[in-house]
């Protein structure tokens, strides 16, 4: 369906090895017929001679394919949900934060082809990992068609859709963070109360998520459950190097849209 550019700057990268490509295919649950296309999917702009040789165009395509598949899934699974609710869930499931979480869960970072500027950093930014996942979805579409891409996307996102549907805001951030922590550290996040204020009948809490000894930015909430959800959202955003949705210096306790799972 698409032509693979001639990529000229991959010789120093391990992902060009056949065994690494095979391991990537196992993680995805899909075997590429065109291995050059898979290498293209894995190539960040920092490792390519031109931007057209990077995975940016594939990211653009994969984002659209993922959106279509998620819309189809939501339409099928939630026949009684209104358009606004479906849109809310979709926006979370296809977000950069969620895509980065999935990429880390699949350990796709070890297959990413990057240049020295990116490889020298301690941790790959979440935005790059999210783009990698989208590029792979686009590559699967080009290699095997819509049905193949649909099958992989449904498999990788089904759990995230169910998690999103189980909370009032469309996503269960504590569940997402727990999966990520268990995958990366074999630990479960701990939630610590940093501060509290207000009378006993209307107390508010500042809570931080702690993983492997590292405390992430806390978040205020009108109850402990809401504060924990917001703290988990902050942690995921911090890990993915995204702006904090609930900066700890801001008091959001008056917000009626508290993220409390049902």
- The model's pLDDT over 181-205, given as tens digits with 9 standing for 90+, comes to 988 889 999 999 999 998 876 788 9
Same domain, 140 and 27: yes
Q: Torsions phi, psi of 191, nearest 5? A: -110, 125
Looking at 99, 130, 165, the residue that finishes a domain is 165
Same domain, 60 and 151: yes
Same domain, 199 and 71: no
30 pLDDT more than 60: yes
Count of the separate structural domains present in the chain:
2
Task: Kindly state whether residue 137 falls inside one of the protein's structural domains.
Answer: yes
Task: Kindly state whether residue 186 falls inside one of the protein's structural domains.
Answer: yes
Looking at 136, 165, 194, the residue that finishes a domain is 165
Q: How many CB atoms lie within 10 A of CB 77?
A: 14
Return the bridge partners of 214, or none: 211
Range of the domain at 200: 173-239
Q: How many CB atoms lie within 10 A of CB 119?
A: 15
pTM (global) more than 0.75 = no
Same domain, 213 and 117: no
Same domain, 90 and 210: no
Report pLDDT digits (tens) over 41-90.
999 888 778 788 889 999 999 999 999 999 999 998 888 778 888 898 89
Same domain, 41 and 140: yes
Longest dimension (CA), the chain: 66
Separation of alpha carbons 176 and 118, rounded Å: 26
Contact 44, 128 (CB under 8 A): yes
Whole-number pLDDT of residue 98: 92
Looking at 108, 143, 165, the residue that finishes a domain is 165
Task: Kindly state whether residue 22 falls inside one of the protein's structural domains.
Answer: yes
Q: Which of 1-10, 134-143, 223-232 has the lowest mean pLDDT?
A: 1-10
CATH number at residue 233: 3.30.160.20
| Mean confidence (pLDDT) of the chain | 84
Whole-number pLDDT of residue 47: 75
Separation of alpha carbons 182 and 165, rounded Å: 22
Task: Kindly state whether residue 51 falls inside one of the protein's structural domains.
Answer: yes
Return the bridge partners of 167, or none: 261
Spell out the residues 6+ positions from residue 178 whose beta carbon is closer than 8 angstroms to its own.
188, 189
Same domain, 84 and 194: no
Task: Kindly state whether residue 35 falls inside one of the protein's structural domains.
Answer: yes
Same domain, 93 and 178: no
CATH number at residue 107: 1.10.1520.10
Spell out the residues 6+ positions from residue 259 whose beta carbon is closer than 8 angstroms to its own.
167, 168, 169, 171, 173, 221, 226, 229, 230, 233
pLDDT band at 119 (very low <50, low <70, confident <90, very high): low
Task: Kindly state whether residue 251 falls inside one of the protein's structural domains.
Answer: no
120 pLDDT more than 70: no
Whole-number pLDDT of residue 166: 64
Q: Enumerate the active-site residues.
A: 63, 134
User: Which residue's structure tokens are 């209307």?
Assistant: 202
Report pLDDT digits (tens) over 143-154.
999 999 999 999
Spell out the residues 6+ positions from residue 106 whose beta carbon is closer than 8 angstroms to its own.
27, 28, 133, 156
Same domain, 117 and 234: no
Same domain, 112 and 48: yes
262 pLDDT more than 50: no
Separation of alpha carbons 94 and 33, rounded Å: 26
164 pLDDT more than 50: yes
Task: Kindly state whether residue 67 falls inside one of the protein's structural domains.
Answer: yes
Report pLDDT digits (tens) over 10-29.
434 444 467 789 999 999 99
Task: Kindly state whether residue 3 falls inside one of the protein's structural domains.
Answer: no
Same domain, 82 and 104: yes
Same domain, 158 and 188: no
Q: What is the DSSP string of the chain?
A: --PPP---S-TT-GGGSHHHHHHHHHHHT---S-HHHHHHHTB-GGGSSSGGGSSHHHHHHHHHHHHHHHHHHHHHH-TT--HHHHHHHHHHHTSHHHHHHHHHHTTGGGG-B--HHHHTSSS--HHHHHHHHHHHHHHHHHHH-HHHHHHHHHHHHHHHHHHHHTBTTS--HHHHHHHHHHHHHS---EEEEEEEES-GGG-EEEEEEEETTEEPPPEEESSHHHHHHHHHHHHHHHHTT---SS-TTS--TT-S----B-
């Amino acid at each position: 369906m698409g032509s693979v550019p001639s990529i000229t700057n991959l010789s120093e990268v391990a992902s060009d090895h056949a065994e690494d490509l095979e391991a990537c295919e196992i993680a995805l649950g899909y075997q590429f017929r065109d291995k050059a296309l898979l290498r293209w999917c894995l190539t960040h702009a920092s490792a390519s001679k031109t931007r057209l040789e990077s995975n940016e165009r594939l990211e653009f395509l994969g984002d659209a394919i993922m959106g279509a598949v998620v819309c189809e899934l939501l339409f099928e699974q939630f026949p009684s949900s209104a358009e606004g609710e479906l849109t809310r869930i979709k926006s979370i499931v296809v977000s950069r934060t969620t895509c980065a979480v999935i990429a880390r869960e699949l350990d796709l970072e070890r297959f990413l082809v990057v240049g020295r500027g990116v490889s020298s950093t301690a941790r790959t930014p979440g935005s790059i990992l999210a783009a990698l996942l989208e590029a792979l979805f686009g590559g699967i579409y080009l290699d095997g068609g819509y049905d193949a891409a649909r099958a992989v996307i449904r498999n990788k996102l089904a759990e995230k859709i169910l998690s999103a549907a189980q909370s009032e805001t469309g996503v269960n951030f504590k569940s997402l963070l727990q999966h990520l922590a268990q995958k990366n550290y074999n630990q479960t996040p701990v939630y610590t109360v940093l501060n509290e204020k207000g009378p006993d009948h209307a107390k508010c809490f500042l809570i931080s998520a702690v993983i492997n000894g590292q405390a992430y930015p806390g978040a205020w909430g009108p109850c402990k459950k809401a504060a924990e959800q917001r703290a988990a959202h902050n942690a995921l955003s911090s890990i993915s190097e995204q702006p904090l949705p609930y900066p700890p210096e801001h008091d959001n306790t008056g917000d009626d849209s508290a993220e409390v799972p049902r």
